Every structure is written in C-alpha cells, then in structure tokens.
Amino acid sequence: MASAVLDLRSRPLKDLRISLTDRCNFRCTYCMPRSVFGPGYQFLTPSSVMSFDEIVRLVQISQGLGVENIRLTGGEPLLRTGLDHLINRLSQVKGIRQILLTTNGSRLTQPLAKRLKESGLTRVTISLDALDEETFKSINDVGFSSQGVLQAIDYAAEAGLTPVKINMVVKKNVNADQILTMADRFRHSGHILRFIEFMDVGNSNRWSYQDVVSGQSIVETIHEKWPLKPLAPSRPGEVARRYQYADGGGEIGIISSVSQPFCTSCTRARLSAEGKLYLCLFANQSVDLLTPLRQGADDQELAFLWRTAWTTRDDQYSLDRAAIPVMRNKVEMSHIGG
Ligand code: SAM
Ligand code: SF4
Ligand code: SF4
C-alpha cells in the first residue's frame, strides 16, 4: 500500500477524477450554457488533450502517492473513443481498487456497457435531472430525451455496473418539482438516486444562492411522503449523506456541497483533460503535469510536483464560501468534471 501523503489539513490523497475531454454533446444550462459554450468557444485542441498512455502514466504515479479510486469524467467521457481500452489498462495498475465513470448516458449503448464492464469498470453514475421530457430537454438544451437516459441506466444495470447511481442536480424553479417524481421512479429499482445542490462552479452558470434547494429540504420533501432513515457512511470521506426508505424502497444520497460542506474529509484531486492538476473543484490555479511529462520528466520528477502540490494544499472553498469575495476565473465544471 502507498504511504499516505497528507495535505496541510491532514487529508490524505485517495481519489482522482480525470476529465477525458472538455467537450460535451449536451449544453446543460447549469454547466455549459450555450451563451458561453457556443460556436465561438475555444475547446482544447486534440493535441493538447492527454493521450491514454499519458493518463495511464499519471495514474501510476498518483497510485504511489495514495490514490486508490479513479473516476473518469468530462465534459462527456463517452465522447472519447476506445474508452474500454483505457479502462482495461487502468484496471491493471497495481493498487487501484475502483474505476468509476460519470456520464450523461446519451452514448451508452448495450454493447458498450457490456464492454466497459468486461474491461474492468466498477460502477457508473448517470446524470438525469428530470423525468418530465420538457423539463429535461430544456435543461440539457439539445433536446435529448429522458427516456434515452433511462434506457442507458437499464443497459448499465444489465451489464452489472451496479448499483447504478443517478445524479440529479436540483435547481429552484427549474426541476425542484421533479424531486418526488424522480424519487418515485427509482424507489425499489436497486439504483441509488443522488440529489445534488446546485453549485457555484466556474464562472458561466450564473449561480445564485437563491437557486439552491438545500439538501435538508429535499430530505424533508421525500420524508413526508415516504419516511426515510439515515444510514451510516459507507466509507470515510463519502460526499453523499445516505438515507434509506423505511419501507424497504432502497437508498438515496444527498450531496449538500453548499449547505453542508464536506471539505474536512476531502481526499480528491482532479486532472483536467490537458493534464493540469486541480486540488479543489473551485480552484483558480493548477499545476501543469502534462508539459513536464511531454518534455521528458521522469516519474520521480512528476511525483515530486504532485506531492509538493498536495502537501501544500489547504483548500476548503465550500467551508469558506461565505467569506470569499466573488472569485473570478474559477475552473469550469466541464473542464474538471465535478
Ligand atoms: N457529462 C457527464 C455528466 O453529466 O454526468 C460528466 C461530467 S458532469 C460535469 C459531472 C456531474 O456534475 C454531473 O452529474 C452534473 O450534473 C454535475 N454538475 C455539473 N454542473 C454542476 C453544478 N453547477 N452544480 C452541481 N452539479 C453540477
Ligand atoms: Fe455535459 Fe455533463 Fe456538463 Fe451536462 S453536466 S453539460 S452532460 S458535462
Ligand atoms: Fe474538496 Fe474543494 Fe469541494 Fe471542499 S470545496 S470538498 S476542498 S473540492
């Protein structure tokens, strides 16, 4: 086992989220609004994006610093072709316990889900913000149907990528009326629906505290209809507070990043698609690992850069949010993948 590398708040590095691309086929209004991510938006050039070889090498180095869990995300990670090959290689990195994927599900076919499972993918999280077609289409802003995402969830479950987790970002006056509809749809399904507070990631989504529906109020709304019982965390540093339906309807999760921050147990680092290391979802600075890698740095040199970044980290943005003046140039969610 790798020796723990601790940051300035004694948090070990355990999890690595890797953005495989900054591109996406959706334009979710809370993430990549068209007004910003329109035809003139400068996405990363293909040559500036990490190759699979480069990703595998950085994962091997991160494992030596304590990383056990890898989450592949984006943008939309399924836009990268050959993802099963990458997963297969990552699953062979000694010490990596779980390889997880967060996707909008739009490109997840039945054969692909099967291939991803066979390649070593542990589980999948699929984002779905509403069942109501009109609401969902107006959120993803490309007219993609919620039925299509439900189909992807079925494919993932059939392939054994279970339990499937479903992410629903809740925004006031947008999809809060879907909380009970979504809860009802996924009760007794074996899937775990997770409600996420709308966050102030990046600079593009016109975030306002007024639009946040608190995790607590979501729990109360559901509890009134189907009583809930809190569950203990399944692992240290888990971001979701877990509940189970008292009638045996299964589990839900609440991710209250705004109203109940979990910075004290944050063990996550993030790699953007162009190989920059971010130590907080709300960071406006990063450490470039890909440039030195491409210039011939050896593993020790890259590990040194990474270790130095982690051991000098004291980020706790969500805990400090109220005291931080509006911060410009935060990295975009589509760049580092949540
Ligand atoms: N495209 C994939 C997807 O949507 O699942 C992966 C990348 S997406 C950035 C990862 C997760 O972040 C999704 O579940 C998405 O709903 C969530 N997300 C994006 N912007 C958010 C925001 N401002 N607040 C809270 N969650 C957000
Ligand atoms: Fe794309 Fe995911 Fe962002 Fe939606 S949340 S725009 S699917 S990256
Ligand atoms: Fe971790 Fe930053 Fe989120 Fe706090 S705000 S939980 S430090 S990513």
* Cβ-contact 70, 56 below 8 angstroms: no
**CB-ligand 3 contact for 239 (6 Å cutoff):** no
**CB-ligand 3 contact for 52 (6 Å cutoff):** no
Q: Tell me how far apart the alpha carbons of residues 299 and 288 are, in angstroms, rounded to a whole number.
A: 14
Kindly give the confidence (pLDDT) of every residue in the chain, 338 residues in length, as a single tens digit, with 9 standing for 90 and above: 566 899 999 999 999 999 999 999 999 999 999 999 999 999 999 999 999 999 999 999 999 999 999 999 999 999 999 999 999 999 999 999 999 999 999 999 999 999 999 999 999 999 999 999 999 999 999 999 999 999 999 999 999 999 999 999 999 999 999 999 999 999 999 999 999 999 988 888 888 889 999 999 999 999 999 999 999 998 887 899 999 999 999 999 999 999 998 999 999 999 999 999 999 998 889 999 999 999 999 999 999 999 999 999 999 988 988 787 776 688 888 888 87
Q: What is the pLDDT of residue 276?
A: 98
**CB-ligand 3 contact for 281 (6 Å cutoff):** yes
> Mutation test of ligand 3: which of 280, 285, 286, 335 has the most ligand atoms closer than 8 Å to its C-beta?
280
Distance of CA 60 to the CA centre of its chain: 21
Q: What is the pLDDT of residue 201?
A: 85
Domain edges within the chain: 15-336
* Cβ-contact 104, 49 below 8 angstroms: no
**CB-ligand 1 contact for 78 (6 Å cutoff):** no
Ligand located closest to 267 CA: 3
**CB-ligand 2 contact for 19 (6 Å cutoff):** no
Atom of ligand 1 nearest to the CA of 198: 24
Q: What is the pLDDT of residue 328?
A: 66
Q: What is the pLDDT of residue 335?
A: 85
**CB-ligand 2 contact for 12 (6 Å cutoff):** no
Homologous superfamily in CATH for domain 15-336: Aldolase class I (3.20.20.70)
What are the strands, taking DSSP E only, across the chain? 15-19, 69-73, 98-103, 123-127, 165-170, 192-197, 228-231, 241-245, 251-255, 268-271, 276-278, 287-288
Q: What is the pLDDT of residue 2?
A: 60
Token representation of residue 166: 């479903």
Does the pTM surpass 0.95? The reply is yes
Ligand located closest to 269 CA: 3
**CB-ligand 2 contact for 32 (6 Å cutoff):** yes
Distance 300 CA to ligand 1 centre (A): 33
Residue closest via CA to ligand 2's atom 4 equals 28
Give CA separation, 248 vs 190, 191, 242, in Å. Answer: 11, 13, 14
Q: What is the pLDDT of residue 333?
A: 86
